[in-house]
Structure 1
Amino acid sequence: MTPNAASASTGSSGPSRRSFLASTAVATAAVAGGMPLLSACGGSDSGSRDGTTSGKDAKKILPTYVASNVVTPDIPARNGSSIGFTSELDMAGLKTSVPKKLGKGGKVTVMSPFWGSPPKADNAYYTGMNDLIGVDVVWQNQDGNTYEQKLGAVLASSDVPDVVVVPGWNMNGRIPSAIISKFADLGPHLSGDAVKEYPNLAAIPTDAWQRSIFGGKLRGLPMPSAYVSNIVPLYRKDIFDKEGYEVPTTADEFHALAKEITNAKAKRWACLDMKWTAWNIFGVLPGDEKGLMWNLVDGKLINRMETQEYLEAIEWTRKLFADELVHPDAKLGKSSATDPGPKFAAGEFLIYNNDISQWYSRTAEQAAQNPDFEVWGMDLFAHDGGTPTFWAKNPAGIFAFVNKKASKSVIQDVLAVANVTAAPYGTKEYMMTNYGVEGTHYTLKDGVPVKTDQGNLDVLNAYVMIASPASTLAHPDFPEVARGQVEWQQKVGAHTKKSSFYGMQITEPSRWANLSSDFEQLEDDIIRGRKKIGDMQQAVSDWKSKGGDQLRDWYQKILDENGSAAS
C-alpha cells in the first residue's frame, strides 16, 4: 500500500497542517493509521450546545461491533496498535467481503480535499469503483491546502453536496456547528444492529464510531486510526550500522550522539527539528486536539502548556538547534523540513521525525536506486532513561458526512460506498479501493502489486476518504517494514496512557476558540532562538488570565458529567 497521510496539529504532537502535502500519502490514510483531530463538536441539533456525548447516551447511538472474519491478520492489534499483514499477498485467493452490490444505482456527489492534480472524471479507477459498488459517485475534488475556506463557504450556502468530507484539522470557526445543522443523522441506518446490513462498517472499532457522534447524533463515517503516537524518529540504520552509532535511550544520549554525527564541513548534521519526538520522550500531553491537552492531575485539570515537561521538551529541542546539530534547512523552514526524502537519502541528516507512513515511503522510493539504503524507526524512550509515559491520540480523525436533505435512497447509496471502502486488507474490494484496476493502475511483479504511473495519478485521495477499515499496516512489497511499524506501535502502546478526555468528541465555546492559537509559533520561535523560555511562561500566564482558567472550569464540568477516560 501507499503511505498514510501526515498528521495535523495545532500544538504540535505531529506534523502541522501546513505540512500536510500529500504525495501518495493521503491515498491510503485509512489503512495506515489516519490523522489526529484538531477540534470537535457536540451539542444539540441546533448547534447551540457545546460539550460531548458519551456514556449511556452514546451507547444508544453506537453501532453494534461485529469483528470481521473475512481475513485474519498476521499480527493482531495490541496496546492500541494497528493490525499488521506480513505474509505474501495471495492475489489469486483474494476474499470477497461484499458478495452483492448494495448500491441502488443512484448518483452521489462528494466534496473532498485533494492534494495534487485531480484525475479526469471518467478515469478507469472512478468508473471501476462505481461499477463495483453500484453507485455513480461524482467527485468534487477541492484543493486540500485551501480546503477550510472552501468548506466554510459551502457549508454557509444552501448548495451542499450529498457527501462532504471534513478532516479534523478543518473543524474550526463555525464549521463544527454547521456539521450539526447541515448533516444527516445516520443512526436510523447504523445504530445498534442496523449496522449489520453493512458488515465492513460493523467491523469498524467502537472508539472510532464514538468520535463520529456530533451534536448527540451519529453523523460521521469515520477513518479509524491506531491510538498510539504516529510520530516515529526515523533514522538511517545502514549508516548507523556502518559507523557503529548506538541508538540512544535517553535525551542526553541523543544529544551526545547528535554531536558525534554532526560535521558541518562534510555537510552532515544529526537531525531535523525533533520537537515532535521531544513531546513524547518528555511525556507531554498531546497538542493535536484541544480536548487531549487537558488531564486530571491530583484532582485538578492541567493543560499541557502548564506542565514542567512541556518547558523541558522545548528546552531540549532548543539546545539541539543552539549547538548547530540540526540541518540548517530546518532552522530556515526550507523544503527538507516538509519533504525530507532527498536530503535524508543523501545522508545530509541521519534522523528526523514524521508520520509512521514515511518509514514505508522512504524505503519504497530508494529501493531501486539505492539498495544499501535502510531506514528504521527508533524506539521512543523516557528522557531520563526511566519508565516512559506516552499519551494516546484519538482513534479517528477524518469524517464523511451526508447532507441532511438527502433522500433515504441517497443515504443507502452512500452507505453502500462506505461498506466497500471499509473492506479489510486481503479482499477484492480493498484491492480495488487502494490499487485500482489491474493492468491499468497496477501490475504484478513477482506476485506483488506495484502501482503504475497511471495508478499514482488516479488512485489517490478519493474513495478511502468515505470510510475505512480498522487501522491496518500492510506493505506487500516490504513486509518487514509493516512488521517493524506494528511492533514499534506495540512497544509504544505498552507505555501509552489515555488522558481524561480521550475519545470524546468535544467542541469548545467559540469565545475561547483562538485562545491557544499562537503557541505553536512561539514554540518554534523559542526553539530557533528568536524568543526565550520566559516568553512562554509569560504567554501561559496571559492564557490563564484571558480565559484559560475559565476554560478549565468548563472542561471540569464535562468531566463531572461524563467521567474520565483516563487509563
Structure 2
Amino acid sequence: MTPNAASGPSRRKFLASTAVATAAVAGGMPLLSACGGSEGGSRDGTTSDKEAKELLPAFVAGNVVAPDIPSKNGSSIGFTSKLDLADLKTSVPEKLGKGGEVTVMSPFWGSPPGGGNAYYRAMNDMIGVDVRWQNQDGNTYEQKLGAVLASSDVPDVVVVPSWNMNGRIPSAIMGKFADLGPYLSGDAVKDYPNLAAIPTDAWRRSIFGGKLRGLPQPAPYVTGIVPLYRKDVFEKEGYEVPRSADEFMALAKDITNAKAKRWACLDMKWTAFQAFGVLSGSEKPLGWNLVDGKMVYRIETDEYLEALEWTRKLFAAGVVHPDAKLGKSQATDPGPKFASGEFLIYANNISQWWSRTAEQAVQNPEFEVWGMDVFGHDGGDPTLWAEQPAGIFAFVNKKASKDVIRDVLAVANVTAAPYGTKEYMATNYGVEGTHYTVKDGVPTKTEQGNIDVMNAYVMVASPAPTTAHPDFPEVAKGQVEWQQRMGAFTRKSAFYGMQITEPTRYTNLSNDFEQLEDDIVRGRKKIGDMQQAVSDWRSKGGDELRDWYKKLLDDSGSAAS
C-alpha cells in the first residue's frame, strides 16, 4: 500500500508504472478543467472562492480508525502496525446500494480480469450494486475517452485523470456529466460518511463548470518527488547526506568512479527545481504565482535558470550515469542498476521507496533505500511548492437517473473507506484466502489476487491520502515523516487547489520547454537558448496569458491559505 499521490513533470509515467502495484493511485497531473459556464459548454477560467465554498461538501472527520501517524503539513496519514483481520472495523454498516446496475469506464494498466470474477462479485455484494467494468488501456486512454465523450453512448460512470483533460475533454465533462451537488454539497454528504471524510481541498478540485461533478482521489499536497539514495552504501562508505548544492556536487564527485562502473546519480533536474525553489511544473496553473503584485511564470525566474545550470554542471562533471546522459533513465526501470550500485541517488516518485525495498528484501537483505531531505541550494531551508490535492476523478453521466446516481455514491462510499476497515481490505485486497493471505500481520496477494484485484474499484473514489506498509512499517514511517518535514517548507502558489481552463489559443504555448530543459542539462543547448525561448514565449502570448491569469486571480480569489 502506497500513498495515493504523485507529482512532478512526468507523473503520467509514474502512475502508469505503479498503478497496478499500488492500493490507490492519484495525484494532480495536468491540466484543464473549467468554470462557471453554461451546462453544455465551458468558459475560460475557474470557480470563484466564494462560489466554491457554497458547493463543497461538509467535512466530517472519520472516527472509525485512528492512524498511527496523523497528517501534518499536508502529509498523508500513516499506519505502522501489523494488520489484525479480526480487529478490522466496519465503516459501512449497511448496504446503501439498491441493487441496480452501474457501468464504469476507467483506465487500466495491465490485463483486465474477466467480468464476474470473485473480486468483482464480492465487492458488488458488499455494496449492493452490480458494477460492470469497461476497462480501457491506460496508455491510450485519452484517445478512447475522447471518442466515447463525443458519442451518445456514455457509460454511467467515467473516470478521467487530469492529465487526460486536454482538447475538448474539459468541455465534454461539463456537458456530459451530472451535478452531484444536490447529493453531496453541505450536509447532504453526511449520508455517505466516508465521502464526508475526504479532505475539502480534494472536493474543491472536483468542481467543474461551476458544479460539483467529480468524485476525487485525494493526494498529499507535499511534493511526491523524492531524492532516493542507497542508505546502506552511504553508511558503509561514510558518505554524508548533502545539505546544499555545493555539497551534493562534492559528494557526487567522491562517489563517481567510471572505471568501476559507479556513478553518483541519474538526472537530478527535478531535485534541482526543488532545491532552487522553482514553482511547480506539474500543472500549468501551478507554475504561476503573484510576486510583488506581478504575475510571474516559473520559466521567467532566475531560480529556474539556476536549477538548469546546476544540473548541467552535474552532467558536465561526469557524475551522472550514462543512461541518463542518453535519456534512457526516463524510459527504463532504474531499479536493477540502483540495486547493483551503478548509481546511488535518483529522484523519483515516493512510491518507489517501498517498491525498491520490497524488490530487494529477499535476495539483497543489506539493501536499504531512503529518502534524502530536499536541501536549499545555498544550505538553508528549501522553498517547496504544493501540488494539487487531487488529480483523478470519477464522473456520473448527466442522463443517469437519481437511483443510478445514488448507487454510484454507494460504490464510492465503500471505496473511500479508510485503512483498517473491512471495506478497505475488500477494495484493495479482495477476498481472504482467494485473493490474499495474512501471515504475521502482513497481507500478501495470491496469484489470483494479482490477476483480479487491480486498479478497478479504487478508481471510483479514495479515502484521505494513506501510507501503510505492514511488511515494511519503517518505510511507511519514513515516507510520512519525510512528507511532514518537507511540508513544513511547502508553500501554496496562487492557483493551488483550483480547476483552471486556459483559453485554447494558449494550449500549446509552453509545450516545448521540457525538451529544451533536457537538452540544456545534457549540454546540447545553452542557457542562452532558454532565455531566447522565454523571450519568444512572452511575445507569442505569454504576456497576454499573464494578464489573463492576473484578472482571473483578481476576479476569483485564491484558494491557497
Q: Does the alignment pair 1:91 with 2:91?
A: no
Counterpart Cα distance in 1 of 2:354 and 2:3: 6
Post-superposition offset of 1:4: 4.9
8 Å CA contact 1:359–1:376 kept in 2: the answer is yes
CA-to-partner distance for each residue in 1:477-520, whole Å, 9 max, x for gaps? Answer: 11111110111001001111111111111111111111111111
Q: Are the aligned partners of 1:37 and 1:398 in contact in 2 as well (CA < 8 Å)? A: no
Corresponding residue to 1:443 among 437, 440, 445: 437
Q: Distance in 2 between matches of 1:43 and 1:513?
A: 20
1:43 corresponds to 2:65: no
Counterpart of 2:507 in structure 1: which amino acid? A
Secondary structure at 1:48's aligned position in 2? coil
Does the C-alpha gap of structure 1 residues 299 and 172 become closer, same or farther in structure 2, counting only changes over 3 Å?
A: same
Shift in alpha-carbon separation, 1:35–1:515, aligned structure 2, 3 A: same
Tell me if 1:561 matches 2:555. yes
Secondary structure at 2:229's aligned position in 1?
strand
Shift of the 311–25 alpha-carbon distance from structure 1 to 2, 3 Å rule, reads farther
Q: Residue 504 of structure 1 aligns with which residue? A: 498
Conservation of the 8 A alpha-carbon contact between 1:5 and 1:25: no
Gap change, CA 1:411 and 1:219, over 3 Å in 2: same
The SS at the match of 2:420 is coil
Give yes or no for contact 1:67–1:203 (8 Å, CA) kept in 2: yes
CA offset digits 1:394-440 (Å, max 9, x no partner): 11010000111111111111100100000000000000111111112
**1:492 aligned to 2:486?**
yes
SS of aligned partner of 1:397: strand
The number of residue pairs the alignment matches comes to 560
2:184 to 158, 181, 190: 190
Asked if 1 retains the 8 angstrom alpha-carbon contact of 2:27 and 2:388, the reply is: no
Q: What is the alpha-carbon distance in structure 2 between the residues aligned to residue 327 and residue 456 of structure 1?
A: 34
Structure 1 counterpart of 2:266: 272
Find the aligned partners of 1:214 and 1:16 in 2 and give their Cα distance: 22
Flag the 1:335–1:259 CA change in 2: closer, same or farther, 3 A. closer
- The DSSP-based 3-state class of the residue aligned with 1:75 is coil
The Cα shift of 1:325 comes to: 1.1
For the residues of structure 2 that align with 1:231 and 1:125, how far apart are their CA atoms?
33
Report the secondary structure of 1:29's partner residue: coil
Query: Closer, same or farther in 2 for the Cα pair 1:26/1:478, shift >3 Å?
Result: closer
Separation in 2, partners of 1:433, 1:18: 24
User: What does 1:169-180 align with in structure 2 at a 5 Å threshold?
Assistant: 169-180=163-174
* Change beyond 3 A, Cα 1:22–1:3: farther
Letter in 1 for 2:273: W
Q: Please, which moves more after superposition, 13-22 or 286-295?
A: 13-22
Shift of 1:107: 1.1
Residues 491 and 3 of structure 1: CA distance in aligned 2, closer, same or farther (over 3 Å): closer
> In structure 1, the residue corresponding to 2:106 is in which secondary structure?
strand
* 1:340 aligned residue: 334
Corresponding residue for residue 17 of structure 1:
12
Taking the aligned partners of 1:204 and 1:37, their CA distance within structure 2 comes to 21
SS in 1 for 2:132: strand
Identity of aligned residues (%): 78
Supply the AA of the counterpart residue of 1:17: R
- What CA distance in whole angstroms lies between the structure 2 residues aligned with 1:49 and 1:24? 33
Per-residue CA distance 1:361-418 (angstroms, 9 max, x = gap): 1111111111111000001110001232111111101000011111111111110010
Whole-angstrom CA distance in 2 between matches of 1:520 and 1:16: 13
Query: Partner residue of 2:372?
Result: 378
2:392 aligned counterpart, secondary structure: strand
Runs of 4+ in 1 over 6 A off after TM superposition: none
Cα 1:426–1:2 shift into 2, 3 Å? same
- Contact 2:430 2:449 (8 Å CA) reproduced: yes
Under a length normalisation based on structure 2, what TM-score does the superposition of the two structures give? 0.97
CA distance in 2, matches of 1:478, 1:266: 32
For residue 23 of structure 2, what is the amino acid of its counterpart?
T
Contact 1:22/1:116 (8 A) holds in 2: no
In structure 2, what residue type is equivalent to 1:208?
A: A
Equivalent pair of 1:236/1:375 in contact (CA under 8 Å):
yes
Aligned residues: CA RMSD: 1.5
Distance 1:307 1:384 in 2: 17
Structure 1 unpaired stretches of 5+: 8-12
Q: CA deviation at 1:442?
A: 1.0
TM-superposed deviation, 1:211: 0.4
Q: Give the corresponding residue for 1:10.
A: none
Residues 1:271 and 1:448: Cα distance change in structure 2 (over 3 Å): same
Per the alignment, residue 295 of structure 1 pairs with 289
- Structure 1 position 35, deviation (Å): 4.1
CA distance in 2, matches of 1:486, 1:454: 31
> Secondary structure of 1:296's partner?
strand
Task: Give me the whole-angstrom Cα distance separating, in 1, the residues matched to 2:508 and 2:190.
Answer: 41
Please tell me whether the aligned partners of residues 29 and 283 of structure 2 are also in contact (alpha carbons under 8 angstroms). Answer: yes
Q: Which blocks of at least 5 consecutive residues in structure 2 are unaligned?
A: none
Distance of 1:5 and 1:225 partners within structure 2? 5
| CA distances 1:59-94 after superposition (whole Å, capped 9, x unpaired) | 211111100000011111111111111122222100
Q: Conserved in 1, the CA contact under 8 Å of 2:223 and 2:386?
A: yes
Are 1:202 and 2:196 matched, yes or no? yes
Q: Which amino acid aligns with 2:293?
A: G
2:49/2:559 contact within 8 Å kept = no
The 1-side partners of 2:524 and 2:14 are apart by 22
TM-score w.r.t. the length of structure 1 is 0.96
Distance in 2 (CA, whole Å) between partners of 1:237 and 1:147 is 38
Instruction: Work out which of the residue numbers 123, 127, 142 in structure 2 matches 1:133.
Output: 127
Q: Deviations 1:240-288 (Å, cap 9, x if unpaired)?
A: 1111110000011111111111111111111111111111111000011
The residue aligned with 1:388 is 382
- CA apart distance, 1:2: 5.1
Q: 1:198 to 1:87 in 2, by over 3 A?
A: same
Equivalent pair of 1:329/1:337 in contact (CA under 8 Å): no
Aligned to 1:455: 449
